[in-house]
Amino acid sequence: MANDMIHDIFSGQPNLTTTERAVSVALGLGIAAAAAQPRPNKVLSLLALVVGVGLAVRGATGHCAVKAAADHF
Q: Which residue has the higher pLDDT, 70 or 21?
A: 21
- For 5, residues 6+ apart whose C-beta sits below 8 A from its C-beta are 69, 72
Note whether 59 and 21 are within 8 A (CB). Answer: yes
Condensed to tens digits (0 to 9), the pLDDT of residues 36-62 reads 888 899 999 999 999 999 999 889 888
- Taking the C-alpha atoms of residue 34 and residue 18, their distance in angstroms, rounded to an integer, is 24
Contact status, residue 6 vs residue 17, Cβ threshold 8 Å? no
Give the 3-state secondary structure of residue 43: helix
The structure's pTM equals 0.77
> d(Cα 53, Cα 59) in Å, to the nearest integer?
10
The confidence score (pLDDT) of residue 72 equals 75
Residue 2 has a pLDDT of 60
